[in-house]
Amino acid sequence: MSFDLRRYAGQTNRRLLLGFFVILFLVGDGLIWWRYGWPAALTGVVCLLGGIALLALIAGLFWIMDILVKRYRD
């Protein structure tokens, strides 16, 4: 029986990232809702999604650059 460490590392990274976002939205936005109410919590969600969109854009650009470099390296 073989064990693929690259697949395991990728799976672990995905789970950690998912856990981070779950904690960020549930705990972070939950505390905003608890203290300031639902209008502030809605604003918090919009701000979090805007920040995540920018990070996703940067990650996507790096991913495309990685594909292009691997394709045209030779």
Least confident of 1-15, 33-47, 60-74: 1-15
What is the predicted pLDDT for the residue at 1?
A: 57
User: Residue 4: is its pLDDT beyond 90?
Assistant: no
DSSP letters, 39-64, are: HHHHHHHHHHHHHHHHHHHHHHHHHH
User: Residue 41: is its pLDDT beyond 90?
Assistant: yes
Q: Are 40 and 32 in contact (CB under 8 A)?
A: yes
Fill in the amino acid letter for 31. L
Q: What is the pTM of this model?
A: 0.73
For 53-62, which contacts have Cβ atoms below 8 Å and span 24 or more sequence positions? none
Q: Could you report the per-residue pLDDT of 48-69, keeping only the tens digit for each?
A: 999 999 999 999 999 999 999 9
